[in-house]
Amino acid sequence: MKVIIIGAGSCATIVADILLQDRNFKLCGFIGIPQEEKQHLGEEIYGNVPFLGTHDILDHLKNDNIFGFVAAIKNNALREKAYYRAMRAGLIPINVISPHAVLDPSAVLGKGVVLSAGCIVSHGVSIGDNTILNPTTVIGIRSRIEDHCFFSTGTIVEGRCHIMKNVFCGVRSTLLAGLTIGKNQHIEFGSIVKESLQNIARSQFEV
């Protein structure tokens, strides 16, 4: 399947590295916001893979037999918008799983999920749509992760946690076992979270 990556930053580069090792997909290019178009249009973002344009071209990609996409944007709110914009264009979200990730057979993945190198997804875990696990993220047994979450490099989620929608976990953050993390929470890098956290209104985190 021909696919594109929505995004042009470091997260998109991590995803491209995985996709170019997967014979099931052919990476055709990157798509971004207008600021990224000014910076990258006509350039090759990764290897010989070019920047194609802004989100406006999503509606026309199927004309070139491009049907798949993955949203590779660090900001949860922006990634969520891009995900649904591509869905409305009739594109299919694909899962991107590094051959160097460990995925227990019992785990359940949604659509548009990224598992980077060194990730460990344990027994009974469920991961929702459009969620990204950066390298060396560890998700403990029977944890449940909802849609549009982002786990930075080295995040550890101990067993039986419930991570609600649009949660962001910073680099090397740790969530102790059995916690519920309310939607829209932003966990700072290096944090050790010992107690459950309540939902945060979307307006407080959206960019």
**Where would I find the H helices in the chain?**
10-19, 34-40, 76-88
**CATH code at 95-201:** 2.160.10.10
CB count in 10 Å sphere of residue 112: 27
CATH 2.160.10.10 domain locations along the chain: 95-201
Q: What is the distance of C-alpha 26 from the center of its chain?
A: 19
CATH 3.40.50.20 domain locations along the chain: 2-94
Parallel/antiparallel/unpaired status of strands 49-54 and 162-163: unpaired
Question: How big, in percent rounded to 5, are the helix, strand and coil portions of the chain?
Answer: 20, 30, 50
Please give the pLDDT value at position 163. Answer: 98
Burial of 51 (0-12, 13-18, 19+ CB in 10 A): buried
Q: Which CATH class is domain 2-94?
A: alpha beta
What stretch of H or E contains 114?
A: strand 114-115
Please give the pLDDT value at position 43. Answer: 75
Please give the pLDDT value at position 205. Answer: 46
Give the chain's count of helices (H) and strands (E).
3, 23
Please give the pLDDT value at position 41. Answer: 75
Please say whether the dihedral angle defined by the alpha carbons of residues 137, 170, 19 and 71, taken in this order, is positive or negative: positive
How many whole angstroms separate alpha carbon 167 and alpha carbon 52? Answer: 30
Please give the pLDDT value at position 37. Answer: 87
How many whole angstroms separate alpha carbon 140 and alpha carbon 62? Answer: 39
Please give the pLDDT value at position 42. Answer: 74
Please give the pLDDT value at position 6. Answer: 98
Please give the pLDDT value at position 27. Answer: 96
Regions of the chain with pLDDT less than 70: 202-207
Please give the pLDDT value at position 204. Answer: 46
